[in-house]
A and B are shown apart, each in its own frame.
Chain A
Amino acid sequence: MKKETWKELTLGTINLNAGNSVQNLTGTWRSGKKPQFIEDKCIQCFFCWLYCPHHAIEVQGEEVKGIKYDYCTGCGMCSEVCPPKEKAIVMVKEEIKLAERSSK
């Protein structure tokens, strides 16, 4: 993405491209662990959705359906707050493919 020169910037640091954080793929920050969603354990309490700092919980219709890995940083919050004894979100090891990541 071409970055503006100082002359091209909007006055006063204002960003008129509101909502452009979708372009910021925070999923590239994950290092080593990722959440895995186990649908049949899920009680649809939406705690994960409420707590996730990156809005990375996938919701379809009225149901939690999984994780948006493009934005999930792997912080583990969703798994931590997931109430069932056998959690519906567990953190699993993730191999990081550096080449793939840097291409994003």
Chain B
Amino acid sequence: MSTLKTLNGNQSVAEAARQIDPDVVAAYPITPSTSIVETIAKFKADGLITGEFVCPESEHSAMSLCIGAASGGGRVMTATGSQGLALMWEMLYIAAGLRLPIVAGIVNRSLSAPINIHGDHSDTMGARDSGWIQIYSENCQEAYDNFIQAFRIAEHLDVRTPALVGLDGFIISHSLEGIQVEDDEKIKKFAGEYKPVYPMLDTDQKKTVGPIDFTDYYFEHKRNQIEGIENAPKVIEEVGKEFGKEFGREYGFFEEYRTDDAEVCIVVMSSAAGTCKDAVDELRNQGKKVGLLKPRVFRPFPHRKIAEVLKRMKAVAVLDRSSSPGAFGAPLFTEIRSALYDYPERPKIVNYVYGLGGRDIKGEHFKEVASKLERIAKTGKVEEIYGYINLRE
């Protein structure tokens, strides 16, 4: 039987980690992810987990350690965010290239400069081409559920690709919420036993890990790596369904909220989607046909599935909590706009950047976006394709 516990986002991730009890946890503290690591350290000190807990001297070393431990054959996890993730950059690509199914809890936070400790998606969006699977959480429950599923997805033999689970800095990481924590035994059973492929600690089998590849092999190895993440959708779907059957909370690539007969749609990820749901309810009460699509999986990007939902809308606004300076729109927008290109019938689409450095986004802002969308739907004209929400202009 599951237990209702009052936990914040970080404790929710730590709780999932305790239940799965990976062989190695290697992490360096950084606001706002510190309490994930701190809680796991306490679990270790209290004898509640058997895995090794290692505190290296930096995030670069933490990810290096994860890579070593995972190459050795262990089930491995870490947690970080922001500058910490940025410092891991070089090693993220190596984890993905070596097909090591490391799982990371990333508490999404802005990047310096200017210095700021609050939530946005600049960190993980910057890492979007590193080859990691990316799953985003709206609340503490989703952070817990996603973190558990991430192990199964990453470790699947067709995938064998590292996965990160994002939760918004402070808004989720430090907000208390009543969450259903499932039985330890059931989670252990769901996660299953981890079987490494070609572990270095199997000394009977001689091997070289990470040998040099020049012009003759690098390209083939990279293509081989891409196949892993391209196999992930099937597994993400299966694991999300199985999780639903087991625990009553099913997961897919995204959540649709009142999109059935919607004419205009807002696309927004993570915690802001929760606020957006309230705004959609209010607008629906006023008879406005507004819906919400909340992407959960950003890598691999479920382009066809998202396009199938959005293609019948009249106007769509994609809200990004990060910017891509100099690009034609922020990351989520460029993915979605590109996904719609092949459809002859497609909506007008605009992009709004919001919430950088933890700037609030409130119900009123979503309502403003909805009324702009209604105007676009009515006139068929997009005046400004790219804008900002709650910014002093």
Identify the A interface with B (CB < 8 A). 3-7, 9-16, 18-19
Contacts and interface: CB of A to CB of B under 8 A. Distances in A.
Interface string B191-234: 00000011000000111111101001101110110010000000
B350 interface: no
Interface of B: 97-100, 160, 197-198, 205-211, 213, 216-217, 219-221, 223-224, 227
B224 A7 contact: yes
Contacts of A12: 97-100, 160, 197-198, 209
Given A9-B220, A13-B98, A19 B206 contact: yes
A14 B207 CA distance: 7
A33 B216 CA distance: 28
Contact of A13 (B97, B205, B219): B97
Contacts of A13: 97-99, 209-211, 213, 221
Given A6-B224, A9-B221, A11-B197, A16 B206 contact: yes
A12 B210 CA distance: 8
Contacts of A6: 219-221, 223-224, 227
Given A12-B99, A12-B160, A13-B97, A4 B197 contact: no
B238 to A, nearest CB: 20
A3 B216 contact: yes
Interface of B is mostly: loop
A13 B221 CA distance: 6
A18 B160 contact: no
5 contacts: A3-B216, A6-B227, A9-B220, A14-B98, A16-B207
Given A10-B198, A11-B160, A13-B98, A18 B220 contact: no
A15 B211 contact: yes
A5 B198 contact: no
Contacts, number: 55
A3 to B, nearest CB: 6
Nearest 9 CB-CB pairs, A to B? A18-B206, A12-B99, A6-B223, A6-B220, A15-B208, A12-B98, A6-B224, A14-B198, A9-B224
Interface core residue of A9, A14, A16 (most chain B CB under 10 Å): A14
Contacts of B208: 14-15, 18
Contacts of A3: 216-217, 220
Contacts of A11: 99, 160, 197-198, 224
Contact of B207 (A4, A5, A9, A15): A15
Nearest to B99: A12
B193 to A, nearest CB: 19
B220 A16 contact: no
Contacts of A18: 206-208
Given A4-B220, A18-B207, 11 more contacts: A6-B219, A7-B224, A11-B160, A11-B197, A12-B198, A13-B97, A13-B99, A16-B198, A16-B207, A18-B208, A19-B206
A14 B100 CA distance: 11
A53 to B, nearest CB: 15
A3 B215 CA distance: 12
A9 B221 CA distance: 7
B271 to A, nearest CB: 35
Contacts of A14: 98, 198, 207-209
Interface core residue of B100, B207, B219 (most chain A CB under 10 Å): B207
Nearest to B200: A14
B25 to A, nearest CB: 21
A44 B8 CA distance: 69
A19 B98 CA distance: 19
B201 to A, nearest CB: 13
Contacts of A10: 198
A51 B205 CA distance: 29
A80 B123 CA distance: 50
A101 B223 CA distance: 32
A21 to B, nearest CB: 9
Contacts of B197: 11-12
A7 B230 CA distance: 14
Contacts of B217: 3, 9
Contacts of B227: 6-7
Nearest to B96: A12
Contacts of B223: 6
A31 to B, nearest CB: 19
